[in-house]
Amino acid sequence: MPPIIEVRDLAKTYASGTVALTGVTLDIREGEILALLGPNGAGKTTFISILCGLVTPTGGHAAVGGHDIARDYRAARTLIGLVPQEIAVEPFETVMNTVRFSRGLHGRARDDAHLEQVLRSLTLWDKRDARLNELSGGMKRRVLIAKALSHGPRVLFLDEPTAGVDVTLRREMWAVVRDLRASGVTVILTTHYLEEAEEMADRIGIIDRGRLLLLEDKARLMHEFGRKRLTVELTDPLAALPDSLAGHGLTLSENGLRVSYDYDTRADRSGIARLLAGFAEEGIGVRDLETEQSSLEEVFLRLVEEGA
């Protein structure tokens, strides 16, 4: 199946001289949830803005559904829904009217039955006649999603969808996104919350300083880049680590009962067997073993540091 979005050498330097993107190339598969992670100013929003037509690229090209975003922008944009980072709504408009407006802008005939379905899925149906300035921040964010879905897009861009949203609403948003994926919509979201990417994404892209540092299946990313920590619980406390174990980079806890050992899952040998043999040789009794996978946050920070 051809990718729903193809991006080749996409670059953007703003008139001020700020370099926001430098030669980003990637394919996005239809139906997946792709999370773009990156620190502030990494270029995530610029990337989304170019694909949606808000920003003109200074290099490279991109296509959505096989339609070039510049030459064939009408066909490309028809496939796209965008939920911006800022909560921006017309304050005096009603929910239903603003969603109808968005659908009309995409050249679609009025279809209130479809809009009812969209509003119900976002638990907004009861608020359809409410003015937008009467809604809470979370509700407004849902309205933005409803607007983006009003014309039935195949690709939905969510720029920081849960920024400033409480935990309950964040989980509800995740459920909405999962439902969208289940209905076949491709979702590209940017986020600061690593937990969000870890929770939802099929693939994760890490952007920093305008470069795509990595694009990987989440599970593989966790596997390949994850460090693990082995904690060995001892039967008797140690005053100090014996010299023969010095080469392993171990850390002894203050009470002398736990020894920690960090290892890389990508390495040919984890070193665990050698370590445990060393314990046996020194006559150190082992009560228990515990391993801990590093979180995506640690993976992310490490990649960004390495890329710097």
Partner 1 sequence: MNGRAVKTIFDHEMARFWRTPWESLASPVVSTVLYFVVFGAAIGGRIPSVEGVSYGAFIVPGLIMLTVLQQSIANASFGIFFPKFAGTMYEILAAPMSFIEVVAGYVGAAALKSIIIAVVIHLTAMVFVDLPMAHPVWALGFLTLTAVSFSLFGFLMGLWAKDWQQLQFIPLMVVTPLVFLGGAFYSASMLPPFWQGVAHLNPVLYLISGFRWAYFGMADVPVGLSLAAVTVFLALGLTAVWAIFRTGWRLRA
Binding site residues, partner 1, CB under 8 A: 14-15, 49, 52-56, 73-78, 80, 82, 84, 86, 88-91, 97, 101-102, 104-109, 147
Minimal distance, residue 153 CB to partner 1, in Å: 10
Q: Burial-class residue 47 by CB neighbours within 10 Å (0-12, 13-18, 19+).
A: buried
Query: Judged by CB, which is closer to partner 1: 109, or 167?
Result: 109
Residue-by-residue DSSP string for 136-195:
-HHHHHHHHHHHHHTT--SEEEEESTTTT--HHHHHHHHHHHHHHHHTT-EEEEEES-HH
Instruction: Pick between residue 80 and residue 221 the one whose CB is nearest to partner 1.
Output: 80
| H/E segment holding residue 105 | helix 95-105
Nearer to partner 1, 115 or 213 (CB): 115
Give the shortest CB-298-to-partner 1 separation in angstroms.
34
Please count the CA atoms within 13 angstroms of the CA of 219 that sit on its side-chain side.
1
Please state the closest distance from residue 74 (CB atom) to partner 1, in A: 4
How far apart (Å, rounded) are the C-alpha atoms in residues 152 and 204?
A: 25
Nearer to partner 1, 106 or 178 (CB): 106
Both structure tokens of 91 = 């304050």
- Residue 84 C-beta: closest distance to partner 1, Å: 5
Least separation in angstroms between CB 111 and partner 1: 12
Nearest to partner 1 of 54, 219 (CB atom): 54
